[in-house]
Structure 1
């Protein structure tokens, strides 16, 4: 049983690497078997299809971040408390799965409609439309400035995600090792919140 678990973990890690670099459409079961250091017959013994493997990798990768965001976005709390909580959980979620942004970019470029369908099917998918309605309501009530809810949502996402997408370049230019860059990402939670609040606060 322990050996089975180890083999399954080996396959999942190999599949993760292949799917990140090649996406679902470009990945082959033989590629995954080669990466895992096993033969194709053994791979099929554990996982009969590429789609099943992809589903496991997708749910593991996306589920962590979606679960975090869903818990926050679906809660009833004041908007000015919810926004920092979204930012904190978004950055924490990606730090736990740093390969996620490139994985998402690959799938969006190759199969955008299927990716969105898979995303929306996640159990804790956040109610983004309600969040945008909350932004509009807060603007009308004078809690924040009246701003575009779409622009606010996009600003939060881009300010949180881009440093992870551009991480190799940023680390190279700024000469930061992994520990230092992770510290920068921890600090970024506060920075992003301050940037957003500077824009929306009355």
Structure 2
């Protein structure tokens, strides 16, 4: 089997695993469940992923692959936190739009076994170094008066809730407010990017300054 065929099948398996993990939870899911979802035998599944745990880790690896390289580029720029904020919001939303089951999967696993989830995220600590550098820049700019002094947990939780909440409630939001129109939900997400950026800039901008206008 060629490399492209192998990569395509691995992607299919990962996407199927997300669906089954969300439906049944990590503990209740079996390799047979995932094989059935893909439409291959359990023996064939083991060719690509030996265990359920390696599949679990592959899901997070996929997200990191989509998200972190671009986030690192943004964080490495010689610019202020206020200047970086719009690009960070855009990148997070883009990554989640490409992995729309991910928020549901993460929330269900946090409720089930947060330590297991954090272990998967932190398995390769070097991958979160850009986020640690951003944290340090935020603290430095708070001390310099360049951004509003606020608990970092407030900033992070506000961003995460604004980004993730619509994906967690996609079905009721679409049914109640959009007449089950998937295109309307996509438009809603695109318009929401500007709203989230404005909220984050308002949250970060010092009281005696005017917020930077998002591009």
Q: TM-score range by the shorter chain?
A: 0.7 to 0.9
- 1:4-23 alignment, distance < 5 Å: 5=6, 8-23=10-25
TM-score of the superposition, structure 1-length normalised?
0.84
Q: Distance in 2 between matches of 1:12 and 1:36?
A: 9
TM-score of the superposition, structure 2-length normalised?
0.80
Q: Distance in 2 between matches of 1:132 and 1:46?
A: 37
Unpaired runs of 5+ residues, structure 2, are 210-215
RMSD: 2.5
- Residue 191 (structure 1) shift: 0.8
Equivalent residue for 1:166?
169
More moved, 34-43 vs 155-164: 34-43
- 1:33-182 alignment, distance < 5 Å: 33-122=35-124, 124-175=127-178, 177-182=181-186
CA contact (8 A) 1:20 1:106 kept: yes
CA contact (8 A) 2:71 2:130 kept: no
Equivalent residue for 1:29?
31
Q: Distance in 1 between matches of 2:140 and 2:10?
A: 48
Q: Distance in 1 between matches of 2:25 and 2:78?
A: 37
More moved, 127-136 vs 145-154: 127-136
CA contact (8 A) 1:20 1:103 kept: yes
Q: Distance in 2 between matches of 1:158 and 1:195?
A: 12
Unpaired runs of 5+ residues, structure 1, are none
